[in-house]
Chain A
């Protein structure tokens, strides 16, 4: 199975900051990499698929990059509604469709 590792596990930042979350796969996943946002008490929401394609309705301050085994999610200017937990997921070698352990983004 492919293992996904996110870093950091938690991150404190301020409104307006630029933040980057990284995700590493245990082997190449051929860009089958997705990012989800989850707010407390809510279901996960798809943000980005295929490394860098924004899901419809997702603000352009979110962007994704990377290739092979190393990927990142960047929020260019944090907004209050962006404080949440973010998960990466691989869909290349599945099942299982493995998720990273999550990165909790908190207000500084």
Chain B
């Protein structure tokens, strides 16, 4: 069974830190770029960060750049998001997603998603 399982969310005070994890099973992990996408309560999807297959290249949304760090451990099939200097506006459900590219067309999409882990930033 294909699974991406996020964990590590919770209630944290403004300025605090959290580390999210995303454990992959039943799917190819090590050869795919991986992403974090968040969704504030009642709002739409917002891309947060991505990491390439060997972890040598990362990218971030401007809203989290300098505060969040994405990483991966291919031996453990696990993706991470280290979140520092958290703000109220970071409150959201955080999803991990696998990126895939169609061999023939080159089109890129997110084909597997976890169920999300909720981060609440509040005093």
The residues of A with any CB-CB pair to B shorter than 8 Å are 31-32, 34, 36, 38, 42-46, 49-50, 53, 55, 87, 89, 91, 94-102
Contacts and interface: CB of A to CB of B under 8 A. Distances in A.
Instruction: Pick the 6 closest A-B CB pairs, nearest first.
Output: A50-B107, A95-B59, A49-B109, A43-B113, A91-B108, A97-B47
B109 A87 contact: no
A32 B107 contact: yes
Contacts of B44: 87, 99-102
A96 B45 CA distance: 12
Contacts of B62: 96
A91 B107 contact: yes
Given A32-B107, A43-B95, A43-B116, A49 B47 contact: no
A101 B108 CA distance: 20
Given A50-B102, A87-B44, A95-B59, A44 B95 contact: yes
B72 interface: no
